[in-house]
């Protein structure tokens, strides 16, 4: 009899652990990394979500009664990371770290949930090498943890190890096919320029989504993929559908702002960005807003937004994050070329991700080192991402090096993908092509 | 109006003092660098209502508001700019803080009450703006007040509302009278805390000088026994989490036994009534042991089932389940009491009909005493019993009622053990806990049986008569206690 109770108890623990770790909003959600980088699968920005808050409150209450429950401590830590991403508020990261470390203190060995959570936290803080290490440790403790593979995939993607990242995503898909795995697989395909397949997977993820916030997330990603391909109407439709599902999902405002700007509805676009950055002042969105302000003839207001972006980055660092990629992009936007090169080089020494190569190449080009710049610009496009931004940078560098036909080819390709890809860069590409007499 | 001005000045002075406090070492805003935090304090007087609203902006919102503060863009905030911005915030606040007295919206007079910066994290600053809103009101008769704060409703942050009456009594206010954050100066900071998010409050005000204190939080229960038990609880929880050596294991079991015994002895669980039941009803020492064993079994089983349920699903709220079990337990006790009472009355009716002609009072008394003495001497039973089956049933009912409501501390110990992957140890502790409870109950039952037997055979008639009355009295007592327990648990669940 006692034996049977024990077996039932163990089964219950297993179920409880699984539901606590994975149930709290898919534990680590689609993209644990890239809390700031635009254009990635970060789920960010909606107002505090009811279900998540409820889960957090329940976990807190439970832990007040049972302070030794390391599984719930780990789940709470992961929920805090999710909260940090949802509110875009880095101050939740120290709290998440505290909860996860406490879990690990209570149970130093055989605690994959805490290691996975710490890995997700490291990803969120852009400490991708640490995240990879933690994910490996978690997988040694539990080789069947889909969440640990998710953390590993995010870290490897951002570190620029694309083949290994693809493999980790495949493991995750095999272990637990679902929204989180589909979204990561979709991002992986997008990195390789396979936008159609990426959209197909995202639609599968949408079919899996039940929660309004998850539906909004999938719709946003589908909108982004349509936008990447220059299909404004399709993108607008997806964003609107996302907004209908969850009006609080803020990244939709950015998507709608981009579409409005592309359609020449400047006032609407600026109002959308103003609302977005008031509620969710992430460095990435602040820089996007600044770009749009500059492109529409408001340099002073653009400067204010860049100052805010600088403050947001400082806070990100003060809360234990590292983001030299963001720092480099900000320095470029502010015209500080030398610091931009240094920051981009620091980031490149840490990870060989396409975005980093692209930014480093562009910073070198701006500093006049076009010979070095072109190798990085090519690395950025190595996976065949067909990102209009990368192609524009490559074309402009080639132009500076006097390789007119290559430049013409790449600038045309960028505009062919999406002739509105950036409010500042798209017109620059057109002007350059005009000068080339194309 | 002059009083309003005075109050305004007082508030202003308080705010100035707050802002003039020595700067604390710079650190991140405890609620996040993007948060917009608010405290709305409502003071009710017989002739007016005053609101003190404080808005605390974390680093980024402070920076975002800079162009609204520094209107001339010279990089500095002059006194005039500070007051202008403060006024602007307070006007917005007055629009957003809607108070309805009996359905009529109050029109606020607005007074800016201070604006200042404090050092924050990453070399940035946080800022605080204060506002004093006021309005005339007639709270000399009962009134309903509805407060809704929709200021910057879409921003993340701490939102608290407090309310206090001065010469006005607040009936069961849903909000406290004192700010837990000391008006946004010190946020409760722990890993298990979530920011407060109070956006509205519905108050009932009555004339009178009640304390107006809101829901007071009582943390420590007074008496030393409870305190000792609470300390022992924590000790046991600590043992469960620590390293598990044989010595620790034995210590844990002993502690669980003692805790179970102590919890059964604490008032409020209605468990002592069972001891009285054993004494009044049948009084065989064996019965005391039976009830004890049933309590242990029920309690252990109940804790195990509930513990596993609570671990398996997070949607189950422990308090609610305990509340319903409390109702069930009370109803069960009441049912047993009712059955006892019915039995006693039936028996008494039979005794009356058989032995006693209506007119002779004396006989009855004699008969009764006689029957007592008789059974006592011959069988060691004070009372003749009705058939054995219902008696055993009600004994079981009593035992189940006693063990049905799991002791929260036993539950916590079990959940803790499950959480640590030491389910077997947790089960062992819970069994020990139930055994401890049973020991106390059995001991109390035996004690009462002893006492009652002694009284029954007492040479003085009064005491013997008291013992004779015991069955009816106990039955009534058990019924009342059962109803009381069920009622109290129901209040807790339905509240």
What is the tens place of the pLDDT at every residue in B281-296? 556 677 777 777 887 7
Taking contacts as CB-CB distances below 8 angstroms, the residues of chain B near A64 are 192
Task: Give the pLDDT score at B425.
Answer: 82
Q: Confidence band (pLDDT; 50, 70, 90) for B120?
A: confident
Percent of chain A with pLDDT over 70: 87
CB-based contacts of B178: which residues, under 8 Å, 6+ apart?
A: B162, B164, B214
Q: Which residue of B has its CA nearest to A87?
A: B156
CA geometry: angle B183, B189, B190, nearest 5 deg: 155
Distance CA A152, CA A134 (A): 8
Shortest Cα–Cα distance, B196 to chain A (Å)? 11
pTM: 0.64
Query: pLDDT tens across A112-146, in order?
Result: 999 999 999 999 888 999 999 999 999 999 999 99
Counting one residue from A and one from B, how many pairs have CB atoms under 8 Å apart? 140
Task: Give the pLDDT score at B476.
Answer: 78
DSSP assignments along B224-277, one per residue: HHHHHHHHHHHHHHHHHHS---HHHHHHHHHHHHHHHHHHHHSTTSS-HHHHHH
Inter-chain contact B240–A279, Cβ cutoff 8 Å?
no
> Phi, psi at residue B117, to the nearest 5°?
-110, 155
pLDDT at B363 over 90: no
Cross-chain CB nearest to A68 (options B60, B419, B427): B419
Distance CA B495, CA B492 (A): 5
Which range, of B51-55, B311-315, B339-343, averages the lowest pLDDT? B311-315
Shortest Cα–Cα distance, B195 to chain A (Å)? 10
Cross-chain CB nearest to B124 (options A19, A20, A311): A311
- Once rounded to an integer, what is the mean pLDDT over residues A426-431? 95
**Higher pLDDT pick, A232 / B307:** A232
**Higher pLDDT pick, B184 / B217:** B184
Alpha helix (H) residue ranges in A88-178:
92-106, 112-124, 128-141, 146-159, 162-175
Distance CA A271, CA A130 (A): 39
Q: Confidence band (pLDDT; 50, 70, 90) for A375?
A: very high
Shortest Cα–Cα distance, A213 to chain B (Å)? 16
Cross-chain CB nearest to A47 (options B29, B154, B192): B154
pLDDT at B330 over 70: yes
Task: Give the pLDDT score at A16.
Answer: 37
Task: Give the pLDDT score at A417.
Answer: 92
Shortest Cα–Cα distance, A4 to chain B (Å)? 11
Report the mean per-residue pLDDT for chain B: 73
Q: Which of B28, B31, B32 should we substitute to test contact with A (largest number of A Cβ atoms within 10 Å)?
A: B32
Taking contacts as CB-CB distances below 8 angstroms, the residues of chain B near A87 are 32, 34, 156
Taking contacts as CB-CB distances below 8 angstroms, the residues of chain B near A107 are 420-421
User: In the structure encoding, which two tokens stand for residue B175, read together?
Assistant: 């909000």
**Higher pLDDT pick, B460 / A28:** B460
Taking contacts as CB-CB distances below 8 angstroms, the residues of chain A near B156 are 47-48, 87, 89
Task: Give the pLDDT score at B210.
Answer: 54
Pairing relation of β-strands B159-165 and B36-44? parallel
- Tokens 């639609």 label which residue? A203
Strand order in the sheet with B200-207: B104-105, B97-101, B143-149, B200-207, B168-170
Cross-chain CB nearest to A281 (options B34, B311, B408): B34
pLDDT at B32 over 90: no
Cross-chain CB nearest to B33 (options A10, A64, A90): A90
pLDDT at B432 over 90: no
Taking contacts as CB-CB distances below 8 angstroms, the residues of chain B near A60 are 192-194
Q: Confidence band (pLDDT; 50, 70, 90) for B241?
A: low
Task: Give the pLDDT score at A212.
Answer: 85
b/e map A85-103, b = 16+ CB within 10 Å: bbbbbbbbbbbbbbbbbbb
Which range, of A16-30, A152-166, A323-337, B171-185, averages the lowest pLDDT? A16-30
């Amino acid at each position: 009899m006692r034996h049977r109770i024990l077996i039932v108890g163990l089964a219950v623990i297993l179920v409880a652990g699984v539901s606590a770790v994975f149930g709290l909003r898919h534990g680590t959600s689609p993209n644990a990394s890239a809390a700031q980088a635009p254009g990635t699968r970060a789920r960010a920005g909606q107002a505090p979500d009811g279900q998540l808050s409820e889960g957090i409150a329940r976990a807190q209450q439970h832990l007040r009664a049972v302070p030794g429950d390391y599984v719930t401590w780990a789940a709470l830590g992961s929920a805090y990371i999710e909260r940090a991403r949802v509110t875009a508020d880095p101050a939740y990261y120290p709290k998440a770290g505290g909860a996860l470390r406490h879990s690990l203190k209570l149970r130093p060995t055989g605690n994959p949930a805490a290691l996975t959570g710490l890995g997700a936290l490291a990803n969120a803080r852009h400490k991708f090498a640490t995240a990879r290490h933690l994910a490996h440790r978690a997988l040694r403790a539990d080789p069947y943890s889909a969440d640990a593979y998710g953390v590993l995939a995010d870290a490897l993607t951002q570190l620029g190890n694309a083949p290994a990242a693809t493999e980790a995503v495949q493991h995750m898909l095999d272990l637990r096919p679902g929204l989180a795995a589909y979204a990561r697989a979709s991002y992986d395909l997008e990195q390789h320029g396979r936008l159609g397949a990426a959209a197909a997977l995202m639609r599968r993820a949408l079919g899996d989504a039940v929660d309004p916030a998850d539906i909004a997330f999938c719709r946003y990603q589908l909108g982004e993929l349509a936008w990447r391909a220059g299909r404004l109407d399709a993108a607008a439709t997806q964003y609107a559908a996302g907004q209908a599902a969850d009006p609080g999902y803020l990244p939709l405002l950015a998507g709608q702002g981009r579409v409005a700007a592309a359609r020449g509805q400047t006032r609407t676009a600026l109002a959308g960005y103003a609302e977005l950055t008031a509620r969710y002042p992430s460095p990435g969105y602040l820089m996007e807003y600044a770009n749009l302000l500059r492109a529409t003839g408001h340099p002073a207001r653009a400067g204010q937004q860049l100052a805010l972006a600088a403050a947001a980055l400082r806070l990100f660092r003060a809360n234990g994050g590292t983001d030299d990629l963001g720092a480099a992009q900000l320095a470029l936007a502010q015209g500080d070329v030398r610091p931009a090169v240094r920051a981009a080089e620091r980031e490149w020494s840490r990870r060989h991700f396409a975005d980093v190569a692209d930014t480093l190449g562009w910073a070198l080009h701006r500093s006049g080192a076009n010979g070095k710049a072109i190798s990085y610009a090519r690395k950025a496009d190595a996976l065949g991402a067909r990102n209009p931004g990368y192609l524009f940078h490559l074309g402009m560098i080639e132009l500076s090096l006097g390789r007119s036909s290559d430049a013409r080819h790449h600038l045309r390709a960028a505009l062919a993908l999406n002739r509105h890809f950036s409010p500042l860069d798209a017109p620059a590409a057109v002007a350059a092509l005009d000068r080339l007499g194309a | 109006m002059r009083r309003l001005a005075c109050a305004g000045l007082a508030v202003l002075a308080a705010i100035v003092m707050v802002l003039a406090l020595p700067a604390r070492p710079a650190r991140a805003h405890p609620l996040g660098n993007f948060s917009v935090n608010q405290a709305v304090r409502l003071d009710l007087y017989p002739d007016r209502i005053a609101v003190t609203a404080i808005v605390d902006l974390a680093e980024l919102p402070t920076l975002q508001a800079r162009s609204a503060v520094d209107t001339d863009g010279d990089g500095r905030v002059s006194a005039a700019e500070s007051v202008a911005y403060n006024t602007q915030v307070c006007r917005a606040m007055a629009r957003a803080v809607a108070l309805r007295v009996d359905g009529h919206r109050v029109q606020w007079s607005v007074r800016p009450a201070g604006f200042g910066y404090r050092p924050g994290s990453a070399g940035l600053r946080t800022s605080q703006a204060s506002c004093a809103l006021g309005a005339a009101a007639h709270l000399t008769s009962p009134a309903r007040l509805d407060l809704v704060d929709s200021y910057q409703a879409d921003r993340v942050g701490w939102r608290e509302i407090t309310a206090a009456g001065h010469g006005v009594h607040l009936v069961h206010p849903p909000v406290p009278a004192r700010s837990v954050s000391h008006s946004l100066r010190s946020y409760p900071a722990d890993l298990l805390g979530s920011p407060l998010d109070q956006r509205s409050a519905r108050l009932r005000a009555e004339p009178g000088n009640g304390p107006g204190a809101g829901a007071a939080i009582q943390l420590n229960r007074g008496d030393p026994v409870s305190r000792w038990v609470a300390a022992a609880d924590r000790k046991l929880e600590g043992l469960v989490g620590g390293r598990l050596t044989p010595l620790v294991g034995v210590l844990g079991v002993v502690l669980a036994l003692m805790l179970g015994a102590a919890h059964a002895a604490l008032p409020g669980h209605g468990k002592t009534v069972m001891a009285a039941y054993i004494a009044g009803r049948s009084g065989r020492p064996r019965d005391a042991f039976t009830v004890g064993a049933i309590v242990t079994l029920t309690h252990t089983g109940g804790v195990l089932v509930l513990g596993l349920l609570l671990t398996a699903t997070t949607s189950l709220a422990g308090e609610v389940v305990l509340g319903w079990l409390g109702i069930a337990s009370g109803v069960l006790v009441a049912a047993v009491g009712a059955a006892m009472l019915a039995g006693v009355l039936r028996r008494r009716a039979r005794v009356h009909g058989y032995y006693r002609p209506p007119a002779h009072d004396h006989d009855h008394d004699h008969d009764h005493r006689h029957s007592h003495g008789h059974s006592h001497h011959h069988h060691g039973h004070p009372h003749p019993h009705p058939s054995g089956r219902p008696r055993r049933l009600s004994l079981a009912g009593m035992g189940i009622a006693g063990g049905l409501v799991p002791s929260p501390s036993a539950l916590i110990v079990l959940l803790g053990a499950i959480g640590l992957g030491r389910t077997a140890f947790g089960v062992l502790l819970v069994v020990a806990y139930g055994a401890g409870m049973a020991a106390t109950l059995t001991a109390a039952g035996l004690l009462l049986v002893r006492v009652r037997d002694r009284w029954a055979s007492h040479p003085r008639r009064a005491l013997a008569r008291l013992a004779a009355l015991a069955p009816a009295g106990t039955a009534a007592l058990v019924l009342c206690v059962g109803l009381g327990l069920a009622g109290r648990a129901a209040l807790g669940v339905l509240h």
